[in-house]
Amino acid sequence: TGVSGQDRAPRTASPRNRDTGLKQERAVRTRGQVLDAAAEAFATKGFPAVTVLDVAELAGVTKGAVYFHFANKEALAQAVAEEFYHLLGVIGSEVEEAGLSPLAAVTELLERTALAFRDDTMVQAGARLQIERSLIGVEMPMPYLGYTESLTRWLRQAQDQSQLPPGASPESTSRVLVSAFFGAQHISWVLNDRADIAERVREILVALVPGVGG
């Protein structure tokens, strides 16, 4: 081997390293399958009725495999809630990076969130777990405040750009938007499994955000 080591044979994983890598990949994949199964169970049956065996069977793994990744049902709920807010955060980042006007960002955030509530089981599970948070008995993420802060930030920018009516309060409008969204997605869930949530959220935006057409 030369001084610089440049002509050293390329380092390949040893059989033992390669085996460890495969085991780690399989563990990561199993954890994802278990989390998706837990979301399906929590979204459809609700936290109290779900058992770890339900989750194992939905995931197609043993109970031991579930317990390898999650200590108990409460840990599954916390992990689903964390993934729920991760997904909402991804939506928020995408809207931030889209370079929209402040009011267009408000509209885009809530419209994309409505579609996630309609289509994404992890999001549906997170929303239901937050309703059931008092039954879960372990620390759950604080709901609603992240959205309220994002919306307030954009509405303050809109106000600075004279895009809000005189006297409008960004903080108050933000709280009303979050309350209206939460109520609309819940009512839509109860009445039609969120089939019409996009239309319900659009009505909120038309009613509350200046310049949003019908």
Ligand X SMILES: CCC[C@@H]1OCC(CO)=C1C(=O)O
Residues that bind ligand X (CB under 6 A): 113, 127, 130, 143-144, 146-147, 178, 181-182, 185
Distance CA 62, CA 176 (A): 45
Name which of 69 and 133 has its Cβ closer to ligand X.
Answer: 133
Name which of 76 and 125 has its Cβ closer to ligand X.
Answer: 125
Return the residue nearest ligand X (CB atom): 143
Tell me 139's DSSP state: -
CB of 67 to ligand X, least distance (A): 27
Distance CA 191, CA 7 (A): 69
Nearest to 142 by CA among 209, 88, 208: 88
Please report, as a single letter, which amino acid is at residue 48: P
CB of 201 to ligand X, least distance (A): 9
Nearest to 125 by CA among 136, 137, 111, 139: 136
Name which of 144 and 191 has its Cβ closer to ligand X.
Answer: 144
CB of 102 to ligand X, least distance (A): 17
Name which of 67 and 182 has its Cβ closer to ligand X.
Answer: 182
Nearest to 151 by CA among 212, 214, 104: 104
CB of 84 to ligand X, least distance (A): 8
